[in-house]
Amino acid sequence: MRLDSFLVEKYPEHSRSVWRRYIEAGYVKVNGRVVARTELAKDSDKIEIDIPESTKQPLDLPVLYEDENVVVIDKPAGVLTHSKGALNDEFTVADFIRTKSVGTDSREAREDGERGSDESCDDRHEERSREFRSEDFTGNRFGIVHRLDRATSGVIIGAKTDEARKFLQKQFAERKAKKTYLAIVENPPLKPAARIDLPIARDPKRPSRFRVDPKGKPAITDYRVLQILRDGRALVELKPLTGRTHQLRVHMAHIGAPIVGDPIYGAAGTVPAKSGATGLQERFLQRKREERMLLHAACLEITIPGGERKTFRAELPKDFR
Protein backbone atom coordinates (compact mmCIF):
# COMPACT_ATOMS: atom_id res chain seq x y z
CA MET A 1 0.00 0.00 0.00
CA ARG A 2 1.25 3.51 -0.78
CA LEU A 3 2.53 5.42 2.20
CA ASP A 4 -0.10 8.19 2.04
CA SER A 5 -2.91 5.62 1.84
CA PHE A 6 -1.33 3.61 4.64
CA LEU A 7 -1.23 6.67 6.91
CA VAL A 8 -4.87 7.57 6.19
CA GLU A 9 -5.87 4.07 7.23
CA LYS A 10 -3.80 4.20 10.41
CA TYR A 11 -4.47 7.83 11.29
CA PRO A 12 -7.82 8.89 9.78
CA GLU A 13 -7.77 12.19 11.69
CA HIS A 14 -6.00 13.64 8.63
CA SER A 15 -7.07 13.43 5.01
CA ARG A 16 -4.90 11.92 2.32
CA SER A 17 -3.97 15.37 0.99
CA VAL A 18 -2.80 16.43 4.45
CA TRP A 19 -0.64 13.35 4.82
CA ARG A 20 0.83 14.02 1.38
CA ARG A 21 1.94 17.45 2.50
CA TYR A 22 3.45 16.07 5.69
CA ILE A 23 5.33 13.41 3.74
CA GLU A 24 6.59 15.94 1.19
CA ALA A 25 7.72 18.21 4.03
CA GLY A 26 9.82 15.37 5.46
CA TYR A 27 7.78 14.90 8.63
CA VAL A 28 7.31 11.17 8.03
CA LYS A 29 10.07 8.55 7.99
CA VAL A 30 9.88 4.89 7.02
CA ASN A 31 12.52 2.72 8.64
CA GLY A 32 14.54 5.82 9.43
CA ARG A 33 14.36 7.33 5.94
CA VAL A 34 12.44 10.29 4.49
CA VAL A 35 10.64 8.88 1.47
CA ALA A 36 8.20 9.87 -1.28
CA ARG A 37 4.45 9.56 -0.75
CA THR A 38 4.41 6.85 -3.43
CA GLU A 39 6.68 4.66 -1.32
CA LEU A 40 5.04 1.34 -0.43
CA ALA A 41 4.46 0.72 3.28
CA LYS A 42 3.48 -2.34 5.28
CA ASP A 43 2.61 -3.15 8.88
CA SER A 44 6.11 -4.40 9.68
CA ASP A 45 7.69 -1.05 8.71
CA LYS A 46 8.71 1.37 11.43
CA ILE A 47 6.91 4.60 10.64
CA GLU A 48 7.92 7.72 12.54
CA ILE A 49 5.90 10.93 12.48
CA ASP A 50 7.50 14.14 13.67
CA ILE A 51 5.31 17.16 12.97
CA PRO A 52 6.84 20.40 14.32
CA GLU A 53 5.03 22.19 17.11
CA SER A 54 2.51 24.68 15.83
CA THR A 55 3.47 28.36 16.00
CA LYS A 56 -0.13 29.58 15.74
CA GLN A 57 -0.89 32.58 17.91
CA PRO A 58 -4.31 32.00 19.57
CA LEU A 59 -6.98 34.66 19.16
CA ASP A 60 -9.69 35.44 21.69
CA LEU A 61 -12.66 35.84 19.36
CA PRO A 62 -15.86 37.57 20.54
CA VAL A 63 -18.44 34.98 21.62
CA LEU A 64 -22.13 35.86 21.18
CA TYR A 65 -23.50 32.61 22.58
CA GLU A 66 -22.18 29.30 23.86
CA ASP A 67 -23.56 26.08 25.29
CA GLU A 68 -22.42 22.47 25.42
CA ASN A 69 -23.22 21.96 21.72
CA VAL A 70 -22.46 25.17 19.85
CA VAL A 71 -20.49 28.37 19.97
CA VAL A 72 -21.57 31.51 18.08
CA ILE A 73 -18.82 33.96 17.20
CA ASP A 74 -18.73 37.54 15.98
CA LYS A 75 -15.92 36.98 13.48
CA PRO A 76 -13.69 39.99 12.89
CA ALA A 77 -12.76 40.84 9.32
CA GLY A 78 -9.41 39.34 8.37
CA VAL A 79 -9.82 36.07 10.30
CA LEU A 80 -9.99 32.86 8.26
CA THR A 81 -12.91 30.51 8.84
CA HIS A 82 -10.61 27.54 8.28
CA SER A 83 -7.29 26.94 6.59
CA LYS A 84 -7.01 25.02 3.35
CA GLY A 85 -3.54 23.61 3.84
CA ALA A 86 -2.06 21.26 6.38
CA LEU A 87 0.95 23.46 7.01
CA ASN A 88 -0.90 26.69 7.73
CA ASP A 89 0.16 28.50 10.93
CA GLU A 90 -2.64 31.06 10.92
CA PHE A 91 -5.16 30.82 13.77
CA THR A 92 -8.67 30.31 12.38
CA VAL A 93 -12.27 30.16 13.54
CA ALA A 94 -11.97 26.35 13.37
CA ASP A 95 -9.00 26.48 15.76
CA PHE A 96 -11.03 28.62 18.14
CA ILE A 97 -13.99 26.22 18.02
CA ARG A 98 -11.63 23.36 18.74
CA THR A 99 -10.51 25.03 21.97
CA LYS A 100 -14.17 25.19 22.98
CA SER A 101 -14.91 21.57 22.17
CA VAL A 102 -16.32 19.50 25.01
CA GLY A 103 -14.61 16.36 23.68
CA THR A 104 -11.27 15.77 25.41
CA ASP A 105 -10.36 13.17 22.81
CA SER A 106 -10.61 15.82 20.10
CA ARG A 107 -8.30 18.15 21.99
CA GLU A 108 -5.76 15.44 22.66
CA ALA A 109 -5.70 14.49 19.00
CA ARG A 110 -5.21 18.11 17.98
CA GLU A 111 -2.33 18.52 20.41
CA ASP A 112 -0.74 15.30 19.18
CA GLY A 113 -1.07 16.54 15.61
CA GLU A 114 0.45 19.94 16.37
CA ARG A 115 3.29 18.68 18.57
CA GLY A 116 4.05 15.67 16.43
CA SER A 117 5.32 12.39 17.76
CA ASP A 118 8.43 10.32 17.36
CA GLU A 119 6.49 7.15 18.22
CA SER A 120 5.76 4.42 15.70
CA CYS A 121 2.09 3.88 14.73
CA ASP A 122 0.65 2.37 17.90
CA ASP A 123 -2.64 0.68 18.70
CA ARG A 124 -3.52 3.15 21.47
CA HIS A 125 -3.47 6.13 19.12
CA GLU A 126 -5.36 4.25 16.42
CA GLU A 127 -8.09 3.15 18.84
CA ARG A 128 -8.55 6.67 20.20
CA SER A 129 -8.69 8.03 16.64
CA ARG A 130 -11.63 5.80 15.79
CA GLU A 131 -13.54 6.90 18.89
CA PHE A 132 -14.15 10.46 17.83
CA ARG A 133 -13.18 10.70 14.18
CA SER A 134 -15.87 11.72 11.73
CA GLU A 135 -15.50 13.24 8.32
CA ASP A 136 -15.64 17.08 8.40
CA PHE A 137 -15.16 17.19 12.17
CA THR A 138 -11.40 16.89 12.24
CA GLY A 139 -8.35 18.66 10.90
CA ASN A 140 -8.57 22.16 9.47
CA ARG A 141 -12.40 22.31 9.38
CA PHE A 142 -13.07 21.34 12.99
CA GLY A 143 -16.65 22.24 13.93
CA ILE A 144 -17.26 24.34 10.80
CA VAL A 145 -20.80 24.11 9.41
CA HIS A 146 -20.79 27.21 7.21
CA ARG A 147 -18.16 29.77 6.32
CA LEU A 148 -17.53 33.47 5.91
CA ASP A 149 -14.90 34.89 3.58
CA ARG A 150 -11.79 36.24 5.29
CA ALA A 151 -12.82 39.84 4.70
CA THR A 152 -16.41 39.30 5.85
CA SER A 153 -17.21 40.03 9.49
CA GLY A 154 -20.11 38.92 11.65
CA VAL A 155 -22.08 35.95 12.93
CA ILE A 156 -20.78 32.44 12.42
CA ILE A 157 -21.91 29.34 14.33
CA GLY A 158 -19.69 26.36 15.08
CA ALA A 159 -20.37 22.88 16.39
CA LYS A 160 -18.64 21.57 19.52
CA THR A 161 -19.71 17.97 18.95
CA ASP A 162 -20.13 15.86 15.84
CA GLU A 163 -23.84 15.39 16.57
CA ALA A 164 -24.29 19.16 16.70
CA ARG A 165 -22.38 19.53 13.44
CA LYS A 166 -24.75 17.18 11.63
CA PHE A 167 -27.81 18.86 13.19
CA LEU A 168 -26.69 22.34 12.07
CA GLN A 169 -25.42 21.34 8.64
CA LYS A 170 -28.76 19.77 7.80
CA GLN A 171 -30.47 23.12 8.37
CA PHE A 172 -28.07 24.92 6.04
CA ALA A 173 -28.50 22.19 3.42
CA GLU A 174 -32.31 22.39 3.66
CA ARG A 175 -32.24 26.22 3.72
CA LYS A 176 -33.82 26.38 7.15
CA ALA A 177 -31.03 28.59 8.52
CA LYS A 178 -31.88 32.23 7.76
CA LYS A 179 -28.97 34.61 7.13
CA THR A 180 -29.03 38.39 6.82
CA TYR A 181 -26.05 40.45 5.68
CA LEU A 182 -25.39 44.16 5.51
CA ALA A 183 -23.13 45.63 2.85
CA ILE A 184 -22.08 48.96 1.49
CA VAL A 185 -22.15 48.97 -2.30
CA GLU A 186 -20.45 51.33 -4.72
CA ASN A 187 -23.67 52.36 -6.46
CA PRO A 188 -27.32 52.15 -5.39
CA PRO A 189 -29.14 49.40 -7.32
CA LEU A 190 -31.68 50.61 -9.86
CA LYS A 191 -34.53 49.09 -7.85
CA PRO A 192 -34.78 49.82 -4.11
CA ALA A 193 -35.66 46.18 -3.43
CA ALA A 194 -35.67 43.07 -5.59
CA ARG A 195 -34.89 39.38 -5.86
CA ILE A 196 -31.84 38.33 -7.88
CA ASP A 197 -32.47 34.85 -9.29
CA LEU A 198 -29.41 34.13 -11.40
CA PRO A 199 -27.39 30.89 -11.50
CA ILE A 200 -23.70 30.98 -10.62
CA ALA A 201 -20.81 28.89 -11.91
CA ARG A 202 -17.04 28.88 -11.64
CA ASP A 203 -15.29 31.03 -14.25
CA PRO A 204 -13.37 28.54 -16.44
CA LYS A 205 -10.81 31.18 -17.41
CA ARG A 206 -10.20 32.20 -13.78
CA PRO A 207 -10.97 29.18 -11.56
CA SER A 208 -10.76 31.13 -8.31
CA ARG A 209 -13.64 33.34 -9.44
CA PHE A 210 -17.34 32.79 -10.04
CA ARG A 211 -19.77 34.39 -12.44
CA VAL A 212 -23.43 34.48 -13.45
CA ASP A 213 -23.85 31.59 -15.88
CA PRO A 214 -27.08 30.09 -17.31
CA LYS A 215 -25.48 26.65 -16.90
CA GLY A 216 -24.56 27.26 -13.26
CA LYS A 217 -26.20 26.23 -10.01
CA PRO A 218 -29.35 28.05 -8.83
CA ALA A 219 -28.59 31.12 -6.73
CA ILE A 220 -31.15 33.49 -5.20
CA THR A 221 -30.53 36.71 -3.26
CA ASP A 222 -33.08 39.18 -1.89
CA TYR A 223 -31.81 42.73 -1.39
CA ARG A 224 -33.20 45.95 0.03
CA VAL A 225 -31.63 49.41 0.03
CA LEU A 226 -31.61 50.77 3.56
CA GLN A 227 -29.84 54.11 3.08
CA ILE A 228 -28.18 56.22 0.40
CA LEU A 229 -24.93 57.55 1.84
CA ARG A 230 -23.43 61.00 1.37
CA ASP A 231 -20.70 59.76 -0.95
CA GLY A 232 -23.24 58.17 -3.30
CA ARG A 233 -22.79 54.67 -2.02
CA ALA A 234 -25.62 52.67 -0.46
CA LEU A 235 -26.15 50.53 2.62
CA VAL A 236 -28.07 47.42 1.60
CA GLU A 237 -29.58 44.42 3.35
CA LEU A 238 -28.87 41.08 1.66
CA LYS A 239 -30.66 37.79 2.29
CA PRO A 240 -29.22 34.80 0.45
CA LEU A 241 -31.79 32.05 -0.09
CA THR A 242 -29.10 29.74 -1.42
CA GLY A 243 -25.49 29.31 -0.34
CA ARG A 244 -23.25 29.49 -3.39
CA THR A 245 -19.63 30.50 -3.06
CA HIS A 246 -19.25 34.29 -3.45
CA GLN A 247 -23.00 34.50 -4.17
CA LEU A 248 -23.67 37.94 -2.70
CA ARG A 249 -20.53 39.40 -4.23
CA VAL A 250 -21.24 38.01 -7.70
CA HIS A 251 -24.92 38.99 -7.67
CA MET A 252 -24.35 42.56 -6.54
CA ALA A 253 -21.52 43.10 -9.01
CA HIS A 254 -23.69 41.72 -11.79
CA ILE A 255 -26.44 44.30 -11.21
CA GLY A 256 -23.89 47.14 -11.16
CA ALA A 257 -23.70 47.55 -7.38
CA PRO A 258 -20.43 45.84 -6.37
CA ILE A 259 -19.61 45.62 -2.69
CA VAL A 260 -17.13 48.26 -1.56
CA GLY A 261 -13.63 46.88 -1.18
CA ASP A 262 -14.31 43.61 -2.98
CA PRO A 263 -10.86 42.65 -4.29
CA ILE A 264 -12.25 40.34 -6.99
CA TYR A 265 -15.64 41.52 -8.20
CA GLY A 266 -15.66 45.16 -7.12
CA ALA A 267 -13.94 48.41 -8.05
CA ALA A 268 -10.99 47.39 -5.88
CA GLY A 269 -10.45 44.36 -8.08
CA THR A 270 -10.15 46.46 -11.23
CA VAL A 271 -7.52 48.88 -9.89
CA PRO A 272 -4.05 48.12 -11.28
CA ALA A 273 -1.02 48.16 -9.00
CA LYS A 274 0.44 51.01 -11.07
CA SER A 275 -2.30 52.96 -12.73
CA GLY A 276 -0.20 55.81 -14.02
CA ALA A 277 -2.66 58.27 -12.52
CA THR A 278 -1.41 61.26 -10.56
CA GLY A 279 -2.67 63.62 -7.91
CA LEU A 280 -6.30 63.29 -6.87
CA GLN A 281 -6.88 60.33 -9.19
CA GLU A 282 -4.01 58.35 -7.67
CA ARG A 283 -5.22 59.03 -4.13
CA PHE A 284 -8.68 57.82 -5.11
CA LEU A 285 -7.27 54.63 -6.66
CA GLN A 286 -5.06 54.01 -3.65
CA ARG A 287 -8.08 54.29 -1.35
CA LYS A 288 -9.84 51.69 -3.49
CA ARG A 289 -6.92 49.32 -3.16
CA GLU A 290 -6.74 49.69 0.62
CA GLU A 291 -10.44 49.38 1.52
CA ARG A 292 -11.55 46.13 3.12
CA MET A 293 -14.65 44.49 1.75
CA LEU A 294 -17.66 45.99 3.53
CA LEU A 295 -19.76 42.87 3.94
CA HIS A 296 -21.08 41.92 7.38
CA ALA A 297 -23.05 38.86 8.50
CA ALA A 298 -25.46 40.74 10.72
CA CYS A 299 -27.96 38.06 11.72
CA LEU A 300 -28.37 34.29 11.80
CA GLU A 301 -31.63 32.57 12.69
CA ILE A 302 -31.22 28.85 13.37
CA THR A 303 -32.47 26.03 15.59
CA ILE A 304 -29.82 24.85 18.02
CA PRO A 305 -29.55 21.28 19.34
CA GLY A 306 -32.35 20.81 21.84
CA GLY A 307 -34.93 22.35 19.52
CA GLU A 308 -34.83 26.04 20.48
CA ARG A 309 -35.02 28.49 17.59
CA LYS A 310 -32.61 31.38 18.17
CA THR A 311 -31.59 34.56 16.41
CA PHE A 312 -28.02 35.79 16.81
CA ARG A 313 -26.97 39.32 15.88
CA ALA A 314 -23.61 41.05 15.50
CA GLU A 315 -23.32 44.83 15.60
CA LEU A 316 -21.90 46.68 12.63
CA PRO A 317 -18.12 47.12 12.81
CA LYS A 318 -16.73 50.64 13.13
CA ASP A 319 -15.54 50.73 9.51
CA PHE A 320 -19.18 50.61 8.38
CA ARG A 321 -20.10 53.76 10.27
Indicate if 179 and 296 belong to the same structural domain.
yes
Q: What is the mean pLDDT of residues 250-277?
A: 77
Q: What is the mean pLDDT of residues 189-216?
A: 96
Q: What is the mean pLDDT of residues 305-310?
A: 97
* Any domain includes 93: no
CA 275 to chain centre: 32
* Phi-psi sector, 9: left (phi>0), alpha (psi -120 to 50), beta: alpha
Indicate if 314 and 182 belong to the same structural domain.
yes
* Any domain includes 85: no
* Any domain includes 68: no
Whole-model pTM above 0.85? no
pLDDT tens per residue, range 142-187: 999 999 999 999 999 999 999 999 999 999 999 999 999 999 999 9
- What value does the mean pLDDT of the chain take? 82
Indicate if 12 and 111 belong to the same structural domain.
yes
Q: What is the mean pLDDT of residues 230-235?
A: 94
Residue 281: pLDDT above 60?
no
Between residues 4 and 81, the one the model is more confident about:
81
In degrees rounded to 5, what are phi and psi of residue 127? -65, -45
Residue 270 confidence class, pLDDT cut points 50, 70, 90: very low
- 119, 134, 149 — which closes off a domain? 134
CA 203 to chain centre: 20
* Any domain includes 310: yes
Residue 258 confidence class, pLDDT cut points 50, 70, 90: very high
Indicate if 111 and 240 belong to the same structural domain.
no
Give the contacts of 147 (CB within 8 A, at least 6 positions apart): 81, 82, 156
Indicate if 206 and 301 belong to the same structural domain.
yes
- 82, 112, 134 — which closes off a domain? 134
At residue 57, what is the residue type?
Q
Indicate if 120 and 181 belong to the same structural domain.
no
Angle at 258 between CA 268 and CA 267, to 5 degrees: 20
At residue 218, what is the residue type?
P
Task: List the catalytic residues.
Answer: 149
* Any domain includes 221: yes
At residue 176, what is the residue type?
K
DSSP assignment, residue 234?
Answer: E
CA 207 to chain centre: 18
Q: What is the CATH number of the domain that holds 251?
A: 3.30.2350.10
Q: What is the CATH number of the domain that holds 106?
A: 3.10.290.10
pLDDT score for 271: 42
Indicate if 126 and 232 belong to the same structural domain.
no
Q: What is the mean pLDDT of residues 204-226?
A: 95
Nearest CA-CA partner of 54 in 14, 98, 89: 89
Q: Domain of 3?
A: 1-50+102-134
- 134, 158, 187 — which closes off a domain? 134
Between residues 269 and 310, the one the model is more confident about:
310
Indicate if 128 and 179 belong to the same structural domain.
no
Rg (CA), the chain: 23
Indicate if 110 and 244 belong to the same structural domain.
no
Indicate if 314 and 184 belong to the same structural domain.
yes
Identify whether the C-beta of residue 250 lies closer than 8 Å to the C-beta of residue 265: yes
pLDDT tens per residue, range 22-61: 888 888 989 988 888 778 888 888 998 887 766 667 788 9
pLDDT tens per residue, range 80-130: 998 765 556 688 999 999 998 855 344 443 444 343 333 333 333 333 333
Total tally of structural domains belonging to the chain: 2
Nearest CA-CA partner of 102 in 61, 160, 166, 43: 160
* Any domain includes 84: no
pLDDT score for 35: 83
CA 101 to chain centre: 18
Strand residues in 13-130 grouped as ranges (E): 28-30, 33-34, 47-49, 63-66, 70-75
